[in-house]
Amino acid sequence: MDVLQLQLPPFKVLCDSTVAGPVWLVIAHRFHGSVNFFRNWTEYKNGFGDLTDEFFIGMDKLEAITGSQSHQLYIYLEDFDGNSRHAHYDNFAIGTEDAFYNLQKLGSYSGDAVIEWEHGGMEIALTGTKPVKIFELRNVSGPISNICVMLPPFEVLCDSTIAGQPGWMVIAHRFDGSVNFFRNWTTYKDGFGDLGGEFFIGLEKLHAITRIQPHELYVYLEDFDGQSRYAIFNDFAISSEKKLYELQKVGSYSGDAAGPGWLVVARRFDGSVNFFRNWTVYKDGFGDLNGEFFIGLDKLHAITASQPHELYVYLEDFDGNSRYANYDNFAISTEEKLYELQKLGSYSGDAVLMAVNVPVPEWVHGGIMSALKGQIDSRDLNLNGTESLFERQSGYPNSCPTWNGRFTIKAQYPNLPPFQVLCDATVAGPGWLVVAHRFDGSVNFFRKWTEYKNGFGDLSGEFFIGLDKLHAITASQPHQLYVYLEDFDGNSRYALYDDFAISTDDKFYELQKLGSYSGDAGDSLKYHLNRRFSTFDNSRDNKCSSDRMGAWWYRDCTDSNLFGMYLDGAIESRLNLKGITWYSWRGSKYSYKTMLMMVRPRYNA
């Protein structure tokens, strides 16, 4: 992948030299149907998908590319029998958005595919954002009229009786044990059984059905006593075979499969609400019944004091596995007794039982609502909320704890709201806050000043925390800086600076302090001390940012360039110092595979 710059900000492209010789820029790629191409105008204008998968580069970029100089167009097609053909046009260009990206030029055709376009104007028109239906059902088990992607028409079984409304397509049916469901991968992929008996429709068809438009899932269960229950999930989808038909979405649950009459007292499913709250907020309750929430200790006491109640705890991990714990006599006390967990009764279920007499952390303020035993997944600690009810003195920490995960912190700095950070305790010991991470080149670091000021990327992938936050963190108390580097041979080195700080925006985030160096990567940052941060659109360094294809505290120009281009190890002379450079280890003609920048308060050292 390369970075291209035209009359637009630089953008990453996919280049190919295998299909039709060197060097072609891929503007669209489809090969397994994982990406929906029935899109609205704005999405086609900006582009969609991912360069590592199915994608379209976008009309704005395509117009800029073909408007900059003469271009050829090559179309490669392959059918499901492995046969391929191509169409080649020697002078291709499209118009601007004002002209609706009309097909201005094609030039002469050559190739072995049938010519489908005629020279002249053609406007690309999209009908809107209404989802495509995969099929229209004609009768209970007859043929379908389909718009199935990459699948021939297939028969389905439809039902309008069990769920009380029409339009349900049966994807699996079991009722007498006549069909073996202990099958291999290929059989589950293609489907098995018969629509007149027990069957499963097949993962390939189920993926095709659920990916084109939103679908509900209805699960109907009947026991041997004739009792029935159901579960409805309002947004169901599975992924492609490439992703092992992952259960992508289920949406919200409704039904009675967990038994009727349950009152939900707390719900968490996406980390959108902060549960690290003060006493008053837990007393009154918080959140919204349509999302994540807790009903409140006052209400919970009133409910459980009115008559005997059961407690049902449902847990689901990030692999889709679920367990439950049921206690048959649950009650909590009054606020006067700090909402003590008075009763639980007998336990049943398949989650590990936790004793009632548990040591209480100080921050719980005298009471414990419930306790679950097991390893904490870092994603469970996804504290995103910044609600005004939250009191600072009992609120967010100002640095990372001693274990890995995502946390919300509040830097001791005026007018900066709490923000989420990634904490690491494995690379260099506990308490490190990751400020930048690069490992696969998926995120472009050749960015504008505003983007570096605010930060970009995602904590689960490549990212930079942002200069505003980095200043606030390092200004609040003395910090160390740890730089971790890994090359493409699996070797790693580090550089540690014991007193790191950068200045404010009005001083261009100058690299103010580094302190003493230690480590085995060599000191390639001291050269940049007291230099201002530069980007290609806000340069303080004689255009070093543009020359080095990055952003950094440049000084005529660089000994290090950790925000340079992501390149593959040893590089040619023309790319000298343009990659992820740390000169004192592997010199100027090497770009590292992995880079971590982390900070930690000095008192944690």
pLDDT per residue as tens digits for the range 90-109 = 999 999 998 889 999 999 88
Above 70 in pLDDT, residue 259? no
How high is the pLDDT of residue 541? Answer: 61
Q: Is the pTM of this model over 0.85?
A: no
The CATH code belonging to domain 406-601 is 3.90.215.10
- The dihedral of CA 189, 193, 195, 200: what is its sign? negative
CA–CA–CA angle 171, 179, 151 (5° rounding): 40
Above 80 in pLDDT, residue 54? yes
How high is the pLDDT of residue 602? Answer: 87
Contact 230, 220 (CB under 8 A): yes
Least confident piece of the model among 140-154, 391-405, 487-501: 140-154
Tell me, yes or no, if the two domains 14-139 and 406-601 fold the same way.
yes
The CATH code belonging to domain 14-139 is 3.90.215.10
Structure tokens at 506: 């009005």
How high is the pLDDT of residue 114? Answer: 60
Tell me: the pLDDT tens digits for 322-369?
Answer: 888 888 899 999 998 899 999 888 777 777 533 333 322 322 222 222
The CATH code belonging to domain 157-351+364-374 is 3.90.215.10
Least confident piece of the model among 273-282, 357-366, 495-504: 357-366
Distance from C-alpha of 113 to C-alpha of 222, rounded to nearest angstrom: 55
* Full DSSP string of 389-426: TS-GGGS--SS--SS-EEEEE--SSTT---EEEEEESS
More confident residue, 506 or 163: 506
| Confidence tier at 510 by pLDDT (50, 70, 90) | very high
Least confident piece of the model among 221-235, 274-288, 365-379, 544-558: 365-379
Sheet strand arrangement including 48-49:
28-29, 55-56, 48-49
* Full DSSP string of 217-284: EEEEEE-TTS-EEEEEEEEEEE--GGGTT-EEE---EEESTT-S-PPP-EE-SSS-S-----HHHHHH
For residue 484, give the nearest of 494, 474, 471 by alpha carbon: 494
Pairing of strands 293-294, 266-267: antiparallel
How high is the pLDDT of residue 26? Answer: 94
Work out the average pLDDT over 280-297.
92
Tell me: the pLDDT tens digits for 557-591?
Answer: 888 999 999 998 998 888 888 899 999 999 989 99
What is the 8-class DSSP label of residue 120? S
Tell me the range of 288-297, 379-388, 531-540 where mean pLDDT is highest. Answer: 288-297
CA–CA–CA angle 226, 229, 230 (5° rounding): 140
How high is the pLDDT of residue 201? Answer: 96
More confident residue, 122 or 530: 530
Contact 589, 576 (CB under 8 A): yes
The residue extents of the domains of the chain are: 14-139, 157-351+364-374, 406-601
Work out the average pLDDT over 441-469.
94
Least confident piece of the model among 16-30, 133-147, 415-429: 133-147
